Amino acid sequence: MPVFVRLSIGVRALVAAGAAVLLAVVIGVVVLLVTGGSDDAASGGGKCGTADVAKGKPVEASSSESDAMSPSYVTDGNPESRWGSAWGDPQTIQVDLGASMPICRVGIKWEKAYATAYDIQLSDDGQQWTAVYSTTTGAGGDVTAGVAGSGRYVRVLLRARATVYGYSIWDIQVNSGAGASTAPSLPPGATTEQLLSYMKPAEASSTRDTSQCTRCDASRVVDQDTATEWVTAEDKTGPAWVRVDLGAVADVRRVELVWGKAYAREYTLEGSWDGDNWTQLSTTDTGTGKVDDVPVTGQARFVRVSMKKGLSGGGYALWEFRIFGTGGAPIAPPGEAEVPSEPYSLVWGDDFDGASGSAPDPKKWVAEVGPGVTGELQYYTNNRNAALDGDGNLVIKAKREVTPGSKCPRDPVTRSTTCQYTSGRLNTNGLYSLTYGRVEARIKVSGTQGLWPAFWMLGADLYTGRATWPNSGEIDIMEHIGREPGISSSALHAAAYHGGDGIGGKYHTGGDLSDNFHTYAVDWRPDKIVFSVDGNAYFTADRAEVEKTRGPWVFDRPFVILLNNAVGGPFPGPPDSRTRLPQDMVVDYVHVYR
């Protein structure tokens, strides 16, 4: 039995004759066509015949409304006879061509009782079927579909009726040959560009699966998640490729490549009907990485980016390979998070009302326990260092306290690697997360050398294990360090910009922020994130600018809220002889508005 390639071709009216060079393929053969040209293929000499190979051939159907509407009428050549089905779904009608042959075009003349959703399928044995045309927006009338495949049997699988009656067809015509004389049509009304590649099968020349890049396979480029990426197996920048199967032939209009740091300087975008024979859609030898938004013109089921030369020896990496157009067999991505509109309302918060010494509300906060993860020197306790003060505040206390059996970076004061300090770190993971809105807290920060109080957010994917840091994203609303008493820092971190390369700003005051309470906030929207202190906006991260100059924007996902009072680490530096402990980070409230 031949190996079939599953193709599903929609219907769309061609634009002006001679307007575009289109791609057509029969299994193993590529033919390049110009609309409005002859039936001869521009390469390979293939030709789609004009003879109706279905005329007079036997026909079977799942049902008939009456003897006067026999299935045989669709191939009898009589324009006044028709087949009509019973009133129900689904239905089928199939033509036996008598022998297997290449099929390049199928025409259907619908009566008023047409199908809105149907497939055209081919088979060699009448048992196993391969779809070569599929639509859910059928509009009846006369449909001519250029297809690519072979088989003895041609079947129309009817899935949804346009009327309360059955299905009715005047005529089914089939043309055989090595190439279609017209480009495959797309569904009537399919004029709105949409994302075609979401969660479609993807393959690559190689993939990486290491402790630094776990499961960095091709499927990551179609998951609409800039926290996951595909990376080549080897750190070299020779030829490599990634391809996506759109599931059906599509009119491809635009390709968006979201590159990792290891991007291709030279690459080609290609299209194919069968996954074996490719036609160039676009090419460049001046790629600059970040986000490439490439307009293309072509029809293909498979789309491939072939990388030829990289900027360095680090291999290649792609966060996303997005393909836009019409037709295909798109899967709708999850709905985008609702963008809040002003005036905002309070939707979540904690005012820390409660008895003195009581623990933070366990329905809102989780205590993280253990050493820090970015070179800090403290050991976070299970709320021994975080408690309400009875006056409407949460107090997170950092103090000198040895935790036996623990391990921290070496303390420069005692020279010990046993954690010499304790503190508290709280998060809302599993209890509350958000995407977009205004997040603010009124805080009196701690303020001595080596301390690092922070109010911030982390991508929830980090806690589920779907993504690692910094891929998951981080939004630092407030970071304060004792050696800069009058400065509050903000930052965004992602895979392409993190640590000292993060994107952020600083708010300068004339005094010491630890002397009084201040309100630290972020206004977070899909297109930008604005940071403020006491209502004074001091830094804005603009999405378009970030994607253009730094890398993927990862801040369209749920984030959880964190509070902590760290000791040591690369940002504040370690405690020294100037450090005075204990020190309190006092939080009046945390509010979320949407």
Which pLDDT belongs to residue 129? Answer: 86
Statement: residue 177 has pLDDT above 90: no
Looking up tokens 């004061």, which residue turns up? 413
Q: How far is residue 59's CA from residue 72's CA, in Å, rounded to a whole number?
A: 5
- How large is the average pLDDT for residues 186-212? 82
* Inter-residue contact 59 to 69 (CB < 8 Å): no
Phi, psi of 175 (to 5 degrees): -115, 140
Q: CA 506 to CA 488: how far, in whole Å?
A: 6
Q: Given 320, 479, 484, 545, which residue is catalytic?
A: 479
- Distance CA(351)–CA(365), nearest Å, equals 13
| Separation between Cα atoms, residue 546 and residue 552, nearest integer Å | 7
pLDDT for res 551: 87
Alpha-helical (H) ranges within 416-568 are 461-464, 543-549
**pLDDT tens digits, one per residue of 264-274:** 999 999 999 88
Which band of pLDDT confidence, cut at 50, 70 and 90, is reported for residue 146?
A: confident
DSSP lists the bridge partners of residue 427 as: 366, 562
Active site residue 440: no
pLDDT digits (tens, 9 = 90+) for 378-412: 999 999 999 999 999 999 999 999 999 999 999 99
Residues 28 and 178: beta-carbon distance below 8 Å: no
The pLDDT value given to residue 27: 28
pTM of the model: 0.67
Reply yes or no on whether 60 is catalytic. no
Contact 400, 413 (CB under 8 A): no
More confident position, 396 or 2: 396
Residue 210's Cβ-count burial label (10 Å; 0-12, 13-18, 19+) is exposed
The CA distance from 147 to 126, in Å, is 18
- Four-residue CA torsion sign, 511, 513, 518, 523: positive
Selecting among 474, 484, 545, 547, the annotated active-site residue is 474
What is the number of H-type helices and E-type strands within the chain?
Answer: 2, 35
Q: How confident is the model at residue 426 (pLDDT cuts 50, 70, 90)?
A: very high
Give one DSSP letter per residue of 241-302, joined into a string: EEEEEEEEEEEEEEEEEEE-SS-EEEEEEEEESSSSS-EEEEEES---SSEEEEEEEEEEEE
